[in-house]
Structure 1
Amino acid sequence: MSFDDDDTQYLDFLDLLNETENTTDPNYLLSKTVRLCQKTAVNQFGAQIIPTFYCVNFFLSYLGNGLVLFIIYKYEKLNTVTNVFLLNLVLSNLLFASSLPFWAVYHLSEWIFGEALCKIVSSAYFIGFYSSILFLTLMTFDRYLAVVHAVAAAKSRKRVYAIVASVVVWCVSIVASIKELVLRTVSRNHLSGLVCEESGFEESIMKHWRKVSYYQQFLVFFLLPLFMVMYCYISITVRIMSTRMKEKCRAIKLIFVIIFTFFVCWTPYNVVILLRAIQMSMEGEESCDASDRLDKVLYVTRNIAYLYCCISPVFYTFVGKKFQSHFKRLLAKKIPCLTRHMSLNSQSTRTTSQRTPHSTYEY
């Protein structure tokens, strides 16, 4: 090839370059460097703590909720509003806990269970999580009716009311989780391997749906239940203070413990959720360090919330004298040598359910 040919090709290249520069749309020009945050450190942090937390939550949930379920089956009947709500709370927690082993394996390596289970496990995870919060709130509201409006609620607090309310809670939870069934797919990531995540639309649309999920979680499944729980228990406390109920101080202490535990376990996680939503809503470049710190805090606070979600039926049932008596009877039957160390009183068990509505807090 001659030097003239080289000069000709070089001139043609300059002409093409000038033509490209002249026809470039200024809207596509970037005035700053776009940095992509590598989540390697965050993923390693998650792989270290999440599987352990999920396994602990799984075993505690099935142990505690299974025990409550067995006691309901053995000693109770589903002819009361409280037992219907309690049964549904246990089922929602078992549904939620059943997804945790899948996520534990996922955080250790990659998603190896296929696309169908990706959708099913994700849906079960959120349906169980959302319904658990709503059933806890519903049980609190039912206690409020039983104590504060005992006479008026005596006619309405029937088994049909409990069944209808439970169906509504399940429907709301399913509707809130439907996007998981639609958007969750399995794809291959060059860094993480097979991933089970929301995809299928443009990034702007997916970002919008993630923000909707965060605000939905904070407003519908935290702020509203928190206000209802606080209002109901404050009203119950005022009502108990105005009665001659025995062990009044112990009942008020229990109410304080319930509110405090609910607030401490749920507030940090939902504050982080709100911060993530605000962070996604803000225009401009976010700091990778700040994003990583928020992700790590999310891992820790989320597992605290999940732990409360798993053990809540035990917390809500075994503080009551009736369930304590059932548990003692069960232990005495399975381990006879413990009988002499327990004060079983079957008469107190029968009379507990026949007391006034204020006996709900006679622990």
Structure 2
Amino acid sequence: MLAIVVGIPANVAILSSVATEVRRVSSAILYCSLAISDLFLLLSLVFKAHYHLHGNQWVFGETACRIVTACFYGNLYCSAHTLACISVKRYLAVVRPFLYKSLPKRAYTAWASVVVWGVFGAAVIPELLVRQSYHLPQLGLTTCHDVLPLDYSSHAPLLYYKLGLTFLGLLVPLVVTAVCYARIVRELNHSHHDWALYVKASSLVFVIFVACFGPAGTLHFLHYVRLLAGEEDSFYGYFNVAVCLCCLHACLDPFLFLLMSKSTGSKLHFMTLSIST
């Protein structure tokens, strides 16, 4: 609920302010993409919040359950990969400035956004094709995405699909971001200029990224490994905490964007290292 109340207006504000820069500043494309994916994530969270606040009782029907599930996970992966793309741009601008200057940045950032949306838009199609809501007579509840019978032929292959999607969608961008920010901080610490504020801001962005996406990626991966091994699932409570952390990132992204822009010393540095990275 906190993420919804804070995140939706904050992302709308960032989107409205950055959208005018899309044609001039390459990274505005990535920040617009990030704001849009965060907004869709937060809108799907409205339905998930209603679901959990009413004792895990889904009242919106099967079609809505499929759409909300696909929208939530698809935009979660899009956000993680867009943040990874932003970290790669920052890495190139700081560590490989001559290479960065020679690249067609607007074309690359536009294609990166298209690829991220295309890949994960296609990747969540199975969530739209498989039944997601089930009535549990013994509990008197209709669940959404929480209970999927593995003895159904359509659901068993989903374990392998979800295991691979978790690895690609959450763990890969986590590793990419870790490497990029480690190199950025190392490079700036060896610089002759005073980049202390930018180093602190970059470190904070990285720590928040790890704190938000690390537990979700790890727990989801272990969850599907345990199910494939035939072991009982005991991670549901931890899942909810990890998902809350992921959603928290959607409302923090606009403020982290402002923090990175304020941490540079001039408009030129802002354009070349902060928003343009």
TM-score normalized by the length of structure 1? 0.66
1:212 maps to 2:157: no
Corresponding residue for residue 146 of structure 1: 93
**Does the Cα contact within 8 Å between 2:171 and 2:214 map onto a contact in 1?**
no
Q: Hey, what's the Cα distance between the residues in 2 that align with 1:283 and 1:62?
A: 40
> Measured at CA, do residues 255 and 319 of structure 1 come closer, stay the same or move farther in structure 2, by a change above 3 Å?
closer
95-104 vs 196-205, which moves further: 196-205
Answer whether contact 1:187 1:194 (CA < 8 A) is retained.
yes
Deviation for aligned residue 1:351? 4.2
Partners of 1:304 and 1:196 in 2: CA distance: 20
Alignment match, 1:272 = 219
Kindly state the Cα deviation for residue 237 of structure 1 after the two structures are TM-superposed.
2.4
Q: CA deviation at 1:302?
A: 1.9
Map 1:52-201 onto structure 2 (within 5 A): 55-73=1-19, 76-107=21-52, 108=54, 110-190=57-137, 191-197=139-145
Contact 2:8 2:39 (C-alpha < 8 Å) held by counterparts:
yes
| Percent identical | 23
Work out which of the residue numbers 313, 320, 339 in structure 1 matches 2:254.
313
Following the alignment from structure 2 to structure 1, what is the Cα–Cα distance between the partners of residues 246 and 193? Answer: 34
Aligned CA-pair RMSD: 2.8
Please point out which of 230, 235, 250 is paired with 2:183. Answer: 235
Aligned mates of 2:37, 2:140 — CA distance in 1: 31
CA distance in 1, matches of 2:26, 2:104: 7
**Cα contact 1:130–1:173 (8 A) shared by 2:** yes
Separation in structure 2 between the aligned mates of residue 306 and residue 214 of structure 1, nearest angstrom = 20
Provide the C-alpha distance between the structure 2 equivalents of 1:157 and 1:313, rounded to a whole number of angstroms: 26
SS in 2 for 1:79: coil
Kindly indicate whether the alpha-carbon contact (under 8 Å) linking 1:147 and 1:236 is maintained by their aligned counterparts in 2: yes
Tell me by how many angstroms 1:132 deviates. Answer: 0.4
Q: Tell me how many residue pairs correspond in the alignment.
A: 271
Matched residue SS, 2:260: coil
SS state at 1:188 partner:
strand
Which amino acid counterpart does residue 226 of structure 2 have in structure 1? Q
2:152 to 203, 210, 232: 203
Alpha carbons 2:10, 2:254 under 8 Å: kept: yes
Q: Which runs of 5+ in 2 are unaligned?
A: none
- Measured after TM superposition, the shift of residue 264 of structure 1 is 2.3
Alpha-carbon distance in structure 1 between the residues aligned to 2:144 and 2:239 = 19
Between the aligned partners of 1:350 and 1:319, the Cα distance in structure 2 is 12
Which shifted more, 82-91 or 268-277? Answer: 268-277
Asked if structure 2 preserves the Cα contact closer than 8 Å seen for 1:148 and 1:239, the reply is yes
Distance 1:161-1:184 versus aligned 2 partners, 3 A rule: same
Larger radius of gyration: 1
CA distance in 2, matches of 1:201, 1:243: 55
Q: Distance in 2 between matches of 1:200 and 1:237?
A: 47
Change (3 A) 1:192 1:134: farther
Say whether residues 1:301 and 2:242 are aligned partners: yes
Could you tell me which runs of 5 or more consecutive residues in structure 1 were left unpaired when the two chains were aligned.
1-54, 324-347
TM-score normalised according to structure 2 size? 0.85
Residue 352 to residue 256, structure 1, CA distance change in 2 (3 Å) = closer
The residue type paired with residue 194 of structure 1 is T
Using the alignment, how far apart are the partners of 1:271 and 1:201 within structure 2? 22
Larger RCO (CA under 8 A, 6+ residues apart): 2
**Secondary structure at the counterpart of residue 113 of structure 1:** coil
Corresponding letter in the other structure for 2:126: K
